[in-house]
Amino acid sequence: MVETSDLIQAPLPSGSAPSCAPTEGTAAPTERRTPVLVPIRSLGVNHRGRIARHLLALEPHDRYLRFGFTANDDQVQRYADSLNFERDEIFGIYNRRLELIAMAHLAFSVDSKLTVGAEFGVSVSKSARGRGYGARLFDRAAMHARNEGISRLFIYALSENAAMLKIARNAGATVVRDGSESEAHLQLQPATFDSRLTELLAEQVAQTDYHIKVQAKQFWDVLAGVQAIRRDVQEAQRSCPK
């Protein structure tokens, strides 16, 4: 079962400080990692362009694992263009340069009579691997699904997609393998006050983080422009005859 947590968190990668090897006869100290907030925000139609750039930047094998076939650029673009932001829920993680480095698609049934299930898909940029973003996006999507009254979350993946199936198993999902393809389903708990409040706070934190990143990028872009103008003026002054 998926449980809600106080915040959507991921382990902080180890720092650069050297580790101390245990002396003979002593036990190795247990490494503790401080949890760090991973802002995961809902994405709207205005993020479609960044979603397309993120997916198009995936390497061929990553596209194969994400879509279940070797998708070309036109097929990836059509998928991005067809995303239904009113029906489904799209979640994303941005870095400080406002690059979408991880995203998840929570697809709800197109049949209004079938409200018991939703399908989860995720992709993570190569530069952002090993940080637990896929698992954090899964937790975020599962929490939203249960708050929307969904009782079961499905994952359809290639059997060779070990990372995706590991996320499902770690969350307590039942995984059934059928040759080259696997299906995982996770029974979700009913929504609670805690789950609704946790999602609300997580979204507010993510929105605030995004706006701060936007303002920071605007500041550095303006500063870079001013510096470029200064360089041009200085070069023009040096080239003028005295």
214 belongs to a structural domain = no
pLDDT at 80 exceeding the cut of 90: yes
Q: Residue 190 maps to which CATH number? A: 3.40.630.30
User: Can you give the pTM of this predicted structure?
Assistant: 0.71
- Please indicate, yes or no, if residue 59 is contained in any of the structural domains: yes
pLDDT for the residue numbered 4: 37
**Within-domain flag for 216:** no
Confirm whether 238 is domain-assigned: no
- Decide if pLDDT at 12 tops 80: no
Q: What is the pLDDT of residues 147-175, one digit of tens each?
A: 999 989 999 999 999 999 999 999 999 99
229 within some domain: no
pLDDT tens sequence across 131-147: 999 999 999 999 999 99
**Count of domains for the chain:** 1
Q: Is residue 200 part of a domain?
A: yes
The identity of residue 183, as a single letter, is: E
Query: Structural domain of residue 174, as residue ranges?
Result: 40-207
- When the pLDDT of each residue in the chain is averaged and rounded to a whole number, the result is 79
Tell me how far the alpha carbon of residue 112 is from its chain's centroid: 27
Residue 24 lies in a domain: no
* Distance set, CA 78 to CA 82, 148, 156 (Å): 6, 27, 20
Q: Is residue 158 part of a domain?
A: yes
